[in-house]
Amino acid sequence: HLVIVWLKKHGDEAARKDYIDGSKKLAKLPGVLSYHIGTPATIKHEHPSPSLDNSYDVAVTSTFENQQALEDYAKHSEHKKIIHEHLKPLVEKYKVYDFVE
């Protein structure tokens, strides 16, 4: 489960910290095996690729026990509460990518 987030206050360190702190609460929900959150890396490339996109503010990757655990996580009442009350008010737009191994 990969979530890429652009904040309303793009580039604002306090807004990024607020989002990250709120998001970390989601790591404790049932079915989550791993949860990582961070900001774009500032890596200097000798030949930058046009496909390299660091325009976002925060990225979250999480791994779940199985697909059902991911579905249950998305429906969990605490997930909905954190998303709607804390995270969504900070967000301009986001993209979600789900995949299975």
> Considering the entire predicted model, what is its pTM?
0.89
Residues 37-60 pLDDT 10s: 999 988 777 777 777 888 999 999
Please state, in angstroms and rounded to a whole number, the distance separating the CA atoms of residues 90 and 76.
21
HSE-up (13 A, CA, CB side) for residue 1: 22
Convert the pLDDT of each residue in 61-94 to its tens digit: 999 999 999 999 999 999 999 999 999 999 999 9
Selection from 56, 55, 63, 57 nearest residue 98 by Cα: 63
Mean pLDDT along residues 4-29: 97
pLDDT score of 35: 97
pLDDT score for 6: 98
How far is C-alpha 81 from the chain's CA centre?
Answer: 16
Q: Is 57 exposed, middle or buried (0-12, 13-18, 19+ CB in 10 A)?
A: buried
